[in-house]
Structure 1
């Protein structure tokens, strides 16, 4: 049972669990890497028009069985319009004809467009995606440095890095496809986690100013207790929406919803552990927010 008397012990235990998961994630990223999707590695993109009665799962299962590789099927907007994405062979001569495969289970087949996205384009997307994450973290670092004392800002920033590394480690360990949709979800998680970190840090700052005689561990526990209900309600309602996407969104939104779900849970976890433990280690105290005395001498 977690209460004010043993909250510090639970926060330290949670930080230890986070440290272990971060180490495992870094090891997996270093040795195994990420399973980049066609957005980053390149591949074939075919726009087709099939029987309106066919579903995305029907098309995906039949094409994967015929092509012997994963196939991404996304609705093209109109009923019966689909965008098919799959890896290209080393030589185009080895590429099987797609239209006969589609005609085996669809009476009406119209090839609207077929294009090849080379690995150079995918590499450029990967570099731009990594640059987007880096710029986001740098902007967040600048904002936190301006808003909070560096000890509080460090806790909030390390909580964000914790969430990013944990998510990347999850995709590395499980081998799930990492594509642009997952990258977009990762950036959304950064914003969500930042909001939680700012709220807990702001509450710690207020308590530091109002309770100059209490230790930082006690103030951190009080900050968590005063924001816990708000955090659980916000995270809970968001998880309900993300869970609905996970269950009902289908294959195109699977990676996005999984990333958001894990990111929200990790963000809430790191807010109550990493973001509060770092100020304790850095010896944050009320004196760091004490008003600066004004000299009587001119």
Structure 2
């Protein structure tokens, strides 16, 4: 495994450069293209319909997308033939009625209920989601400042920012819908990436104390060698679960599963690369964790 080789330090620096390039590219993409906010944040219309069970979600989506001139989210309601449709409020008053559009697919179509999410509600959800993200970040920063010396904690903080920004950059680049489920995935990514970073940082601290004369490069390589198998096994099994959710969860969970899949990959990558390289650049030394002598003079 590469972390036991003599060129492990070069590999870590090389992957950190790649991470930095991807980070800058993600920030540029977010600034230029922005996120495709879902109806949870922008407001829209939610309609539940019932029609023949022989009509597929693809047929529904194609007919509605063409008639309403927008992407319509089609979600199975749990019973055969019942669907929940989510779409933005049409800008034109001459937009066709949903029941009239679906009448072409099934003459017995029924609109069970229709509700509207106003932009005020969407703005409130956006504010609450941003507040939840801010509180989570502040709690993480408080924990890291208590648990580790700031040079070592900086690697974990940068790794967290790297993972979240990369996921946001991916959604900005692909213009996939960013809704509340994706925001929940971002919060979950924070916790998962923090777990990986803390395990490696804790091992670095232990080696620093046990081998005060070793160089910081040697300490980081040894810490990674001791934790890499655990990290890969944990990430691999989690990726299998998220991958199954991505494949079998359908459209409603696609954004959540995809964000989690990317976040787990980048979380594992960043904790190994930038999570160890940044403390080196900040001149982390064993002296920062050795007990300080107490002066005998009063």
Interval of TM-score (by shorter of Structure 1 and Structure 2): over 0.9
C-alpha separation between the residues in 2 aligned to 1:149 and 1:4?
A: 28
C-alpha separation between the residues in 2 aligned to 1:53 and 1:238?
A: 36
C-alpha separation between the residues in 2 aligned to 1:238 and 1:249?
A: 16
How far the C-alpha of 1:296 sits from its partner, in A, is 4.4
Q: CA RMSD for the aligned pairs?
A: 1.6
Match of 2:117?
117
Cα 1:63–1:90 change in 2 (3 A) is closer
Match of 2:220?
220
C-alpha separation between the residues in 2 aligned to 1:129 and 1:20?
A: 28
Match of 1:62?
63
SS of residue matched to 2:89? coil
Q: Is the 8 A contact 1:44 1:114 kept in 2?
A: yes
Report matched runs for 1:138-153 at 5 Å. Answer: 138-153=138-153
How far the C-alpha of 1:251 sits from its partner, in A, is 1.6
Provide, for residues 76-127 of structure 1, a one-character-per-residue CA deviation record: whole Å limited to 9, x for no partner: 2333322100111125x22311112222212432212112222222222222
Structure 1 gaps of 5+ residues are none
Q: Which segment is superposed worse, 71-80 or 137-146?
A: 71-80
Provide, for residues 203-244 of structure 1, a one-character-per-residue CA deviation record: whole Å limited to 9, x for no partner: 101111101110111111111111111111011111111111
How far the C-alpha of 1:139 sits from its partner, in A, is 0.7
2:115 counterpart of 1:76: no
Match of 2:16?
15
Match of 2:36?
35
Q: Is the 8 A contact 2:68 2:95 kept in 1?
A: no
TM-score of the pair, normalised by structure 2? 0.94
Q: Is the 8 A contact 2:55 2:105 kept in 1?
A: no
SS of residue matched to 1:227? helix
Match of 2:52?
51
Aligned residues: 297
Report matched runs for 1:129-208 at 5 Å. Answer: 129-208=129-208
C-alpha separation between the residues in 1 aligned to 2:233 and 2:170?
A: 25
Q: Is the 8 A contact 1:42 1:116 kept in 2?
A: yes
Q: Is the 8 A contact 1:88 1:95 kept in 2?
A: no
Q: Is the 8 A contact 1:51 1:107 kept in 2?
A: no
How far the C-alpha of 1:253 sits from its partner, in A, is 1.5
Q: Is the 8 A contact 1:159 1:274 kept in 2?
A: yes
C-alpha separation between the residues in 1 aligned to 2:188 and 2:32?
A: 27
C-alpha separation between the residues in 2 aligned to 1:94 and 1:207?
A: 70
Q: Is the 8 A contact 1:44 1:117 kept in 2?
A: yes
